[in-house]
């Protein structure tokens, strides 16, 4: 396998990680540090430290030491210019005296100062850059399990097998390249765990999630799991994994020891060196000094010697003065002498990885004999096993010399001297020390530095480690990409049954919620919206127009208590509505605030047909069902929105058009305004409502969705001789505005009651009981607030929606809708004004394009104020 590292081609062997292959090819510097741009090499080789973060295939901050190689990967270093080996910005470490701990807070004391330097600092400091890159797919998945085991080491595998043998469904999560944990690279663990791995793989009820990590344990035992490269079509999958029992078997990781120059390239953790050696057959160096206490260090030295690495010396941490070398380590200076080497192997403290127990609500306390923070009192559904529980962990805390080159936090270059300074400045609590110095806040989330930082804090404050305590473990840890959290870029899209008929006509679409609706039709010609809308407007006013209103919410309401329910939820009365009649329906909440409007038609004695606004259907349906649930009434609601297509034919020629297609008597005598009928149109069963949203003679026709496109084409065909045209939402908005018809949610807001919206006629306070009655009765008496009025602009121009109403130089309201009206030959609209201005003939000022223009208030429709046309 081959992959690219900048302009080099790197050979990789099967099972290699990116970092292992790079190391084998001779790469030693893997990153440059956050603040001082010091060269950094591999340290933990297990995804716990920040040193190997690189940009892989355009994704920044990828932990290359646990990222498997695949053919054609493109890997780049980050935070270094021009290269990892020569980084000009490493000059910053000469100016470390300029940048003491907390220098942001001390230096940039005014916003202006910060704004001046922020761009430069962002360039110099920090992690990788997010580059706009090609499409990357993320997925979300949901899983359930009896038992989830976090960590595929020895203890985790045992726990998974034990649970599987009890017959439980088990999920085993491992973030390393190979199952087995330290059993794969530590001789003292005995033979390689091939047999148990085979049993895990063979168990039918163990689901193995490899190359995956758990980043948080949330309420209800919900685990956030990130699976890398689940399949070629997705780069990451976020799994919402719900467990009944969580077993934390995340083991213990090794942390560095603090001494001057402890961050030089070639200073590595013993587990990192052993991983390279046994998992990847890579010798990390030729001549090594092992740093550690006698027993532990002796074991490691022996294993390395067996692996062909010469051991120069075993050095006790207590005797170390410093590591030597400029960027790569060349030796260790101790009290007794200097040892030359090209590799320093640190046998550091082993930290039980038990953050998930803390996230589950368990307590974590310091155990002096084990030298580690251990979980006590975990919740009943979470347990820690193996090294994560602290068993077999016995640390002695190495000295923490104070030095400006002894790095505690590798993520953001915080030294032991910085921590001492911060404590001296008064940040003597571990939580404030963390926030002030940013130690433990970097990509490693404290894995490498927490114990040392606590140690320094304890020593400097004269407290014990137990008293100093630990910072709080919070998810996500390790980090998760925002793309994975955001998930797939899916957005539901709804199309009406006539969608393709619109497309054939040539259309400009309008997105309304999930729906796509025709904004206006183009006839496949290039023309402006104004021209096309005027054409459609003229057709409706002079001949007839046809609009697709399939997006209206449509509810079929049946049952003995249907009338009672509609009386309760709407302000009008519906129990007395005779079959064959339609009534406008306005819905308010208990506070008398307008929620929705629509129509209610009584199709037969026990069947109502209710329409709602397009966007409020879900809400209205739930609102009705809530009332039914709370009262126990005999009503059944069926949402037939998708089952019916709907279109509105309106205009003086609509009757002539429709007459060609139906035997239903359409004369106003037998089918008057606000009546409804069931009839066949061109053989298609339909519900016809004679209503007039746009102010002309017209019918709203609802028919089965599968026949809607055919009916649409039939009506346009029949109307062709009369000049019937299809019209879109843009034209409908203009037509309804001329009639002063309110659109709920556009002209009203979350504080509007019907009296303010000038719709008192729709509220029947003499009705015994309905939702909002008491407060509406109260509002009917108190009209002190604003009113929604119509206005006609007295000079050319059209106010924008939202334009200010100005009275005596003070803002006194706002415009909610405005359009140029061909009927008035001026801009007309709706505006909220103080009640005192809500009278015919009053003049108000509107701010239009920065100018104040006079407008005349009217409380009547701008077109056909008496409503003669729609009754013809």
Partner 1 sequence: MSFLIPCPNCGNRSVYEFRFGGEVQAPPTSAAPPGDWQKHRFNRVNAAGVQAEWWFHRSGCRQWMQAVRNTVSNEVLESFLPGDKQE
Task: State the residues that interact with partner 1 by CB under 8 A.
Answer: 218-220, 222, 240, 242, 589-591, 622, 625-626, 629-630, 632, 768-769, 773-775, 777-778
Count the neighbouring beta carbons within 10 Å of the beta carbon of residue 305: 13
Task: Compute the distance between CA of residue 160 and CA of residue 150 in angstroms, rounded to an integer.
Answer: 10
Six-digit token string for 653: 């020629």
Q: How many residues does the chain have?
A: 872
Task: Report, in Å, the least distance between residue 655 CB and partner 1.
Answer: 41
Task: Report, in Å, the least distance between residue 142 CB and partner 1.
Answer: 8
Considering the complex, state which of residue 146 and residue 199 has its C-beta at the smaller distance from partner 1.
Answer: 146
Please enumerate in sequence order all residues whose Cβ is within 8 A of that of 564, keeping only pairs 6 or more positions apart, or say none: 575, 633
Six-digit token string for 769: 């009981």
Task: Compute the distance between CA of residue 223 and CA of residue 356 in angstroms, rounded to an integer.
Answer: 9
Considering the complex, state which of residue 378 and residue 545 has its C-beta at the smaller distance from partner 1.
Answer: 378
Considering the complex, state which of residue 524 and residue 768 has its C-beta at the smaller distance from partner 1.
Answer: 768
Task: Compute the distance between CA of residue 832 and CA of residue 753 in angstroms, rounded to an integer.
Answer: 13
Task: Please report which helix (H) or strand (E) contains residue 217, including its range.
Answer: strand 212-218
Beta strands (DSSP E) in 33-100 are 39-40, 53-56, 59-63, 74-76
Considering the complex, state which of residue 313 and residue 780 has its C-beta at the smaller distance from partner 1.
Answer: 780
Considering the complex, state which of residue 491 and residue 768 has its C-beta at the smaller distance from partner 1.
Answer: 768
Task: Report, in Å, the least distance between residue 379 CB and partner 1.
Answer: 11
Task: Report, in Å, the least distance between residue 559 CB and partner 1.
Answer: 14
Task: Please report which helix (H) or strand (E) contains residue 557, including its range.
Answer: strand 553-558
Task: Compute the distance between CA of residue 832 and CA of residue 715 in angstroms, rounded to an integer.
Answer: 39
Say if residues 819 and 829 touch (Cβ distance below 8 Å).
Answer: yes
Task: Compute the distance between CA of residue 810 and CA of residue 354 in angstroms, rounded to an integer.
Answer: 62
Say if residues 73 and 62 touch (Cβ distance below 8 Å).
Answer: no
Say if residues 225 and 218 touch (Cβ distance below 8 Å).
Answer: no
Task: Compute the distance between CA of residue 750 and CA of residue 744 in angstroms, rounded to an integer.
Answer: 10
Considering the complex, state which of residue 199 and residue 240 has its C-beta at the smaller distance from partner 1.
Answer: 240
Considering the complex, state which of residue 32 and residue 773 has its C-beta at the smaller distance from partner 1.
Answer: 773
Task: Report, in Å, the least distance between residue 772 CB and partner 1.
Answer: 9
Considering the complex, state which of residue 769 and residue 808 has its C-beta at the smaller distance from partner 1.
Answer: 769
Task: Report, in Å, the least distance between residue 238 CB and partner 1.
Answer: 13
Cα angle, residue 119 at apex, residues 116 and 122 outer, rounded to 5°: 130
Task: Report, in Å, the least distance between residue 618 CB and partner 1.
Answer: 8
Considering the complex, state which of residue 71 and residue 219 has its C-beta at the smaller distance from partner 1.
Answer: 219
Please enumerate in sequence order all residues whose Cβ is within 8 A of that of 123, keeping only pairs 6 or more positions apart, or say none: none
Task: Report, in Å, the least distance between residue 145 CB and partner 1.
Answer: 14
User: 499-517: b or e for each residue (b if 16 or more CB lie within 10 Å)?
Assistant: bebbeebebebeeeeebbb
Give residue for tokens 């020895």: 154
Task: Report, in Å, the least distance between residue 596 CB and partner 1.
Answer: 17
Three-state DSSP at 623 gives: helix
Please choose, from the candidates 12, 50, 9, 6, the residue with its C-alpha nearest in 3D space to the C-alpha of residue 31: 50
Considering the complex, state which of residue 221 and residue 437 has its C-beta at the smaller distance from partner 1.
Answer: 221
Task: Report, in Å, the least distance between residue 221 CB and partner 1.
Answer: 9
Task: Report, in Å, the least distance between residue 771 CB and partner 1.
Answer: 9
Considering the complex, state which of residue 391 and residue 589 has its C-beta at the smaller distance from partner 1.
Answer: 589
């Amino acid at each position: 396998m081959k992959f690219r590292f900048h302009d080099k081609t790197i050979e990789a062997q099967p099972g290699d990680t990116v970092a292992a292959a790079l190391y084998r090819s001779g790469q030693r510097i893997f990153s440059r540090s956050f603040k001082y741009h010091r060269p950094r090499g591999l340290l933990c080789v297990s995804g716990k430290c920040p040193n190997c973060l690189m940009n892989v295939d355009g994704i920044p901050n990828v932990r290359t030491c646990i990222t498997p190689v695949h053919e054609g990967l493109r890997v780049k270093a980050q935070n270094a210019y021009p290269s990892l080996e020569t980084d000009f910005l490493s000059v910053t470490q000469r100016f470390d005296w300029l940048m003491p701990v907390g220098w942001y807070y001390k230096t940039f004391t005014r916003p202006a100062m910060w704004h001046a330097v922020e761009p430069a600092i962002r360039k110099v400091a920090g992690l990788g850059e997010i580059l706009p890159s090609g499409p990357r797919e993320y997925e979300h998945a949901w899983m359930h399990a009896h038992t989830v085991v976090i960590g595929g080491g020895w203890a985790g595998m045992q726990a998974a097998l034990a649970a599987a043998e009890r017959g439980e469904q088990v999920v085993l999560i491992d973030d390393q390249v190979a199952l087995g944990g330290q059993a794969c690279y530590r001789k003292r663990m005995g033979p390689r765990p091939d047999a148990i791995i085979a049993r895990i793989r063979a168990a039918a009820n163990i689901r193995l999630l490899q190359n995956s990590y758990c980043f948080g344990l949330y309420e209800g035992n919900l685990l956030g799991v990130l699976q890398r490269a689940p399949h070629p079509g997705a780069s990451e999958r976020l799994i919402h994994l719900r467990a009944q029992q969580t077993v934390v078997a995340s083991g213990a990781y090794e942390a560095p020891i603090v001494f001057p120059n402890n961050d030089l390239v070639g200073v590595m953790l013993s587990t990192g060196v052993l991983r390279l050696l046994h998992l990847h057959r890579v010798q990390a160096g030729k001549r090594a000094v092992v740093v550690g206490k006698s027993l532990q260090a002796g074991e490691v030295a022996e294993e390395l010697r067996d692996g062909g690495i010469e051991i120069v010396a075993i050095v006790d941490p207590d005797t170390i003065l410093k590591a030597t070398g400029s960027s790569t380590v060349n030796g260790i200076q101790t009290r007794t002498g200097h040892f030359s080497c090209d590799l320093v192997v640190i046998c550091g403290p082993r930290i039980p990885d038990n953050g998930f127990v803390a996230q589950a609500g368990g307590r974590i306390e310091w155990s002096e004999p084990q030298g580690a923070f251990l979980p006590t009192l975990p919740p009943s559904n979470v347990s820690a096993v193996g090294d994560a529980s602290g068993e077999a962990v016995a640390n002695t805390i190495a000295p923490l010399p104070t030095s400006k080159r002894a790095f505690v936090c590798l993520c953001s270059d915080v030294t032991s001297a910085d921590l001492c300074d911060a404590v001296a400045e008064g940040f003597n609590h571990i939580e404030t020390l963390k926030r002030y110095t940013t130690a433990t806040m970097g990509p490693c989330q404290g894995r490498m530095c927490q114990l040392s930082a606590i140690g320094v804090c304890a020593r400097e404050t004269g407290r014990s480690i137990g008293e100093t305590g630990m910072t709080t473990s919070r998810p996500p840890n390790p980090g998760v990409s925002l793309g994975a959290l955001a998930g797939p870029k899916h957005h539901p899209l709804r199309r009406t049954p006539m969608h393709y008929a619109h497309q054939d006509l040539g259309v400009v679409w309008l997105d309304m919620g999930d729906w796509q609706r025709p904004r206006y039709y183009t006839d496949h010609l290039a023309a402006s919206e104004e021209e096309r809308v005027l054409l459609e407007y003229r057709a409706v006013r002079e001949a007839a127009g046809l609009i697709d209103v399939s997006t209206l919410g449509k509810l079929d309401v049946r049952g003995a208590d249907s009338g009672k329910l509609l009386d309760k939820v709407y302000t009008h009365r519906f129990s007395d509505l005779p079959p064959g009649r339609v009534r406008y329906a306005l819905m308010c909440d208990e506070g008398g605030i307008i929620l929705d409007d629509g129509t209610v038609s009584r199709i037969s004695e026990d069947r109502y047909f209710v329409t709602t606004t397009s966007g409020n259907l879900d809400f209205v349906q739930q609102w009705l069902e809530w009332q039914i649930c709370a009262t126990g009434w005999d009503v059944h609601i069926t949402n037939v929105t998708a089952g019916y297509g709907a279109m509105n034919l309106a205009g003086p020629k609509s009757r002539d058009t429709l007459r060609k297609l139906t035997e239903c008597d359409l004369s106003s005598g037998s089918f008057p305004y606000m009546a409804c009928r069931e009839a066949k149109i061109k053989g298609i069963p339909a519900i016809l409502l004679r209503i007039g949203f746009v102010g002309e003679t017209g019918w709203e026709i609802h028919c089965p969705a599968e026949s809607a496109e055919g009916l649409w084409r039939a009506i346009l065909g029949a109307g062709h001789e009369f000049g019937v045209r299809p019209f879109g939402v843009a034209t409908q908005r203009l037509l309804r505005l001329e009639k002063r018809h309110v659109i709920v949610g556009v002209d009203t807001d979350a504080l509007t009651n019907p009296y303010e919206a000038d719709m008192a006629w729709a509220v029947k306070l003499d009705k015994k009981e309905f939702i909002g009655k008491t407060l509406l009765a109260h509002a009917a008496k108190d009209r002190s607030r604003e009113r929604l009025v119509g206005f006609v602009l007295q000079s050319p121009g059209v106010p924008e929606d939202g334009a200010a109403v100005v009275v005596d130089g003070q803002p006194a309201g706002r415009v909610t809708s405005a359009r140029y009206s061909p009927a008035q030959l001026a801009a007309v609209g709706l505006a909220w004004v103080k009640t005192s201005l809500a009278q015919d003939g009053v003049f108000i000022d509107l701010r239009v394009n920065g100018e104040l223009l006079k407008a005349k208030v009217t409380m009547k429709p701008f077109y056909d104020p008496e409503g003669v046309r729609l009754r013809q």
